Amino acid sequence: MKVLANDGISQSGIDALQAGGIEVITTKVAQEQLINFINEHQVDVILVRSATQVRKDIIDACPSIKIIGRGGVGMDNIDVAYAREKGLSVINTPAASSASVAELVFAHLFGGVRFLYHANRNMPLEGDTQFNSLKKAYSKGRELRGKTMGIIGFGRIGREVAKIALGCGMKVIYSDSYVENAKVELSFYDGQSLSFTFKTQSLDSLLAESDFISLHVPAQKGYIIGKEQLTQMKKGAGLINAARGGVIDEVALVEALDNKKLAFAALDVFEDEPTPAIKVLMNDSISLSPHIGAATDEAQDRIGTELAEQIIAILK
């Protein structure tokens, strides 16, 4: 049995697969060469993250494939329904990276309320000549404690975001069409825990009440946050997207930032990924990262191990 980990896999995942008698190929194959490579090497399993696409053409042209795996949550780069119709197993690791994404959300959020996204750009340029001016410019930071965190989408990642928000002393509200009620267990290092219960509310009310909003929804056909929704948000609010590109209207977002409706935004994902719009990249009110929500050593170890366990269970 052969596994092609085309977008990479952790060493722990490789070790687990090899211990199960499975050969692991980590060669990065270009999208247009995948079909030939898979057929030439008789690959049984193809593993991807977000870069490689597994569409109908590959599914139809590569009869050796038995399993398609996605290291992460969303599977919008895979024709899942079609693959399953053809009898292939399609797997992912929905829980492995939840904490990592949530921590990145708060990295951006802490940076947003203390102007770090802006200071980190300007200190290298002007810190030696305009130190006092920069100090004055960034001296009106805000604390998170006592503020309201609005979470759109209350699945695994949304709940991890809620845990950190609760730990920071924030009020948490959420909107999710599929989750009417939710319970969040906040566990501490010494074994103690606290339980919190929540009830969904309308998107309109969440937009109006939240000081900061974080999106945690799958890929959509349309915008979740467009011009209308941005006008409903509090003046001076912050908006964070570490979910999927295309759920925020980036043109409307830039406009809302430029007219000071929003204080800042943070984007880990983009409408035109991997070539984000220049107006987004150059806007100095946006904190930016290149789709690294799940990119921690710990998350990648969990992803690799979970994929290996699922693959071995299916193939054996």
Active-site pick, 103, 209, 273, 309? 273
* Phi and psi at residue 55, to the nearest 5°: -105, -175
Start-end of CATH 3.40.50.720 domains in the chain? 2-96+297-315, 98-288
Q: pTM of the predicted model, to two decimals?
A: 0.90
Residue 180 exposed, middle or buried by CB count within 10 Å (0-12, 13-18, 19+): exposed
Tokens at 133, concatenated = 């001016």
273 given a catalytic annotation: yes
- Cα–Cα distance for residue pair 19/97, rounded to 1 Å: 24
**DSSP letters for 264-311:** EEEESS-TTTTS--HHHHT-TTEEE-SS-TT-SHHHHHHHHHHHHHHH
How long a stretch of residues is the chain? 316
- Cα–Cα distance for residue pair 299/291, rounded to 1 Å: 14
Q: Do the bridges between strand 212-215 and strand 148-152 make them parallel or antiparallel, or are there none, so unpaired?
A: parallel
> Could you tell me the CATH superfamily of domain 2-96+297-315?
NAD(P)-binding Rossmann-like Domain (3.40.50.720)
Task: Give the pLDDT of residue 268.
Answer: 98
Task: Give the pLDDT of residue 316.
Answer: 79
Task: Give the pLDDT of residue 60.
Answer: 97
291 given a catalytic annotation: yes
Active-site pick, 250, 291, 302, 306? 291
| pLDDT tens by residue, the chain, 316 residues | 999 999 999 999 999 999 999 999 999 999 999 999 999 999 999 999 988 999 999 999 999 999 999 998 889 899 999 999 999 999 999 889 999 999 999 999 999 999 999 999 999 999 999 999 999 999 999 999 999 999 999 999 999 999 999 999 999 999 999 999 999 999 999 999 999 999 999 999 999 999 999 999 998 899 999 999 999 999 999 999 999 999 999 999 999 999 999 999 999 999 999 999 999 999 999 999 999 999 999 999 999 999 999 999 998 7
Q: How many helices (H) and strands (E) are present in the chain, helices listed first?
A: 13, 13
| Alpha-carbon dihedral angle through residues 291, 293, 294, 297, given to the nearest 10 degrees | 100
Active-site pick, 244, 271, 302, 306? 244
Edge-first strand order for the sheet with 171-175 is 171-175, 148-152, 212-215, 237-241, 262-267, 286-288
Q: What CATH code is assigned to 98-288?
A: 3.40.50.720
Tokens at 8, concatenated = 């990479």
Q: 36-51 b/e with 16+ CB inside 10 Å = b? A: ebbeeeebbbbbbbbe
